[in-house]
Chains A and B, each alone.
Chain A
Amino acid sequence: MKHLLSIDDLSAADITDLLDLTDHMVEIGQRPIPKVPALRGKNVVSLFFEDSTRTRTSFDTAAKRLSADTLNFAVSSSSVNKGESLRDTIETITAMGVDAFVVRHRSSGVPQMLTAWTTASVINAGDGWHQHPTQALLDCYTIRTGLNRRDGFDGLTVAVVGDVKHSRVARSDVDAFAKLGARVILVAPPTLLPTHVETWPVEVSHDLDSVLGELDVLYLLRVQRERMDDGLLPSLREYSTCYGLTAARAGALPGHALVMHPGPMNRGVEMVVDPGELPGSVILHQVANGVAVRMAVLFRLLGAGTDLKGHA
């Protein structure tokens, strides 16, 4: 594996392998000194063309725990703002000696484009509406541990609720959940579903209340205020009424069901109830697992010939 661009590039076995590796990374994270020398001497550059404190910090922490050198290329203060092209930026940094780029961009497809211009590995940290593969992996890991499902998701029912159309999290999660065997139901008004959704490996519902009782996982997506301006929603209030997680809806979930959200949450819109009061909420586990999953990805891409033993 050279790059991680899309869940599409991974088989179910690849995903399971990364999740198994994540177990080791979780264990490392629990040590008094949570750091191993596995990627000593490797240079990991974060290239975030779109702000994301959470994801960047998570990757940064993961790389440091594996003893890689990390460099944050701050796009806002760089030559990109002086009109330098994407290609020149990548070729220039590559020439300095880079082993992996962690890339976030508001345009779909940018991480894939970059692979043509660099010898380094490229990890997609979110591109446009397209993919956010490490989010999908951490979500799979959270479900696997939360529901004790080491052998895949056969028999599980997962609802992904909200703005699927504009969501890279949804595109990645749907692929990953389906590959591991889950039944996936998209729940949203038709305007927030992608066109040609019939080509996706999912069922579709427009009635959240009718599916709550059969769910093992309720995955809520962020719904943004600008969707009203696009004529996709009459109002956030109406969305919240139809699709928001209220205490009553939470009560209709089976007792074992997990409630997940990729963050940042819109309280009072998709999340009406205080998630702190939901016994099934694993939202903070998702964040914690993010570091371990990203360690696993970095190690799988850059760690050939090394092992996870020893202390930094």
Chain B
Amino acid sequence: MTRTIITAGTVLDQGGRRRADVAIGDDGRIAAVDEAIAPAAGDVVLDAAGCVICPGFVDLHVHLREPGKEEAETIETGSRAAALGGFTAVVAMPNTDPAQDSVAVIEFVRAQGRRAGLCEVVPSGCITVGRQGRTLAPLAELAAAGVRLFTDDGAGVQDPQLMRRALEYAGPLRITLAQHCEVAAMTAGAVMHEGACCSRLGVPGWPSLAEELMVHRDIELSRLTGSPVHLLHLSTAGSVALVRAAKADGLRVTAEATPHHFTLTDERLAGYDAVFKVNPPLRTAADIEAVRAGLADGTIDAIATDHAPHAPETKEAPLDQAPPGMLGLETALALSLTYLDMPLEDIIAALSWKPAAIAGLADRHGRPVTPGEPANLAVVDPAATWTVVPAKLASKSRNTPYAGMELRGSVRHTIFDGHPVVVDGVATR
């Protein structure tokens, strides 16, 4: 039996930190966790000196572009970026072409994920047919096919009555509806956050209120229906306050925030570079502070990337014509470690077991590092510094807003389903 032994590291999981080696059997499960495990002949040894061995990360929010926009990303290239970022599971958003509103497309996305074999690709389902916001997608059929998270991401469900019906219908299916909160009537043509910078640059803006109105609406719909709601990519101080109050009321509301919403402000758009165009938009310093505080006090459950690859020529269009979105998978951990004033345990929680629970993956991802558990692990060097070089990213696209920035914290190894898919920062597949 060939084992993989991770040596000289510190295990960090829900149970805290402890010095231990980890042995992984060829059944894909953790075989032993012990202070010192002697490798046998034929065992693969991964050094983890100075590193933390933790449950693999779960990204609730990625756009893998397949099917439909394979020139920007494929499930394989996106999976490789995910593995390099320490993610062992990613939830693929449904705004593909065709959209993920049928079992056929869901099964295709899963199969492509298995073929790549770099992380678990977990398709989300649409709330409405074709993400058109008019009729309900086959929620029960998709739930029976194993889909646990549903969203029309890319857009919010605009009609409040339809959203109410969706939440009511979802109740017995034990699924979670996730919302891209944006009242579209207030954001036609929007290019960036509606603020002083936008006013000066002469472009239409996304007002904070357009997000907060829908955050409020869906919190109240969750209260009314009793169904859980997950709020995607919170970006404003007002949204964070609304979610904090909802949680204080004991509602079944969860939320995520992206690294770009806790690191970058709208002033980045001053040079009209569409790499910084994203929806929801980069907001103000006060919003960044509120998002960080929300993560620190647990109001925001998870760090999710909203990884959104776009081909270079599309991002070289004028700001009003370029598509919104930026890469995130390979920089999420480092941005969290560099910019969040939170204990390492809390950062890993927000990247791993908390999102695993929201995505319905808690049976196999974000598990404690103990014998018998599925071996989905990330080995992280919290002190290593590195510089973001777009051309070196595994994603098929280059639209990172962090080019040239030095960040702290890197992923050294990633173990997916017992396989070392990343070793010393290099993908093995």
Contact = CB atoms under 8 A, between A and B. Distances in A.
Nearest to A194: B199
Contacts of B203: 108-109, 128-130
A174 B67 CA distance: 49
A73 interface: no
B202 A130 contact: yes
B205 interface: yes
A195 B198 contact: yes
A105 B200 contact: no
A199 interface: yes
A69 B207 CA distance: 46
Interface string A126-163: 01111100000000000000000000000000000000
Given A107-B319, A107-B321, A128-B320, A197 B199 contact: yes
B157 to A, nearest CB: 24
A173 to B, nearest CB: 13
A86 B317 CA distance: 7
B313 to A, nearest CB: 6
A306 interface: no
Interface string B196-214: 1011111101010000000
A107 B207 CA distance: 20
Contacts of B201: 108-109, 130
B316 A87 contact: yes
Contacts of B199: 194-197, 199-200
B171 interface: no
A131 B202 contact: yes
A171 B195 contact: no
A240 interface: no
Contact of A86 (B194, B273, B316): B316
B205 to A, nearest CB: 7
A196 B318 contact: no
B272 A171 contact: no
Given A105-B318, A109-B319, A110-B318, A128 B196 contact: no
A113 B272 contact: yes
A87 B311 CA distance: 14
Nearest to A129: B202
Given A196-B195, A196-B196, A199-B196, A113 B318 contact: yes
B42 interface: no
B317 A108 contact: no
A85 B321 CA distance: 12
Contacts of B172: none
Interface in B289-334: 313, 316-321
A112 interface: yes
A168 interface: yes
B271 interface: yes
Name the residue among B202, B205, B207 with the largest chain A CB count within 10 angstroms.
Answer: B202
A10 to B, nearest CB: 15
Nearest to A105: B318
Contacts of B318: 86, 105, 107-110, 113
B303 to A, nearest CB: 30
B196 A107 contact: no
Contacts of B320: 107-108, 128
- Classify the secondary structure of B's interface with A: loop
Interface string B167-198: 00000000000000000000000010011101
A85 B317 contact: yes
Contacts of B200: 8, 171, 199
Contacts of B317: 85-86
Interface string A177-211: 00000000000000000111101100000000000
Given A128-B202, A194-B199, A195-B199, A109 B272 contact: yes
Interface in A70-124: 85-87, 105, 107-110, 112-113
Contacts of A195: 194-195, 198-199, 205, 207
A130 B317 CA distance: 17
Contacts of A105: 318
Contacts of A85: 313, 316-317
Contacts of A128: 202-203, 320
Contacts of A171: 200, 202
Nearest to B203: A108
Contacts of B207: 195
Contacts of B196: 196, 199
B202 A112 contact: no
Nearest to B321: A107
Name the residue among A105, A109, A110, A129 with the largest chain B CB count within 10 angstroms.
Answer: A109
B193 to A, nearest CB: 10
A87 B322 CA distance: 13
A104 to B, nearest CB: 13
Interface string B253-294: 000000000000000000111000000000000000000000
A195 B266 CA distance: 15
A51 B171 CA distance: 56
Contacts of A8: 200
A112 B271 contact: yes
A172 B349 CA distance: 50
A105 B317 CA distance: 12
Q: A-B pairs with the 4 shortest C-beta distances?
A: A109-B272, A107-B318, A129-B202, A130-B202
Given A85-B313, A105-B318, A107-B319, 6 more contacts: A108-B191, A113-B272, A127-B202, A194-B199, A197-B199, A199-B199
Interface of B: 191, 194-196, 198-203, 205, 207, 271-273, 313, 316-321
Interface of A: 8, 85-87, 105, 107-110, 112-113, 127-131, 168, 171, 194-197, 199-200
7 contacts: A85-B317, A108-B272, A108-B318, A109-B201, A113-B318, A194-B199, A199-B200
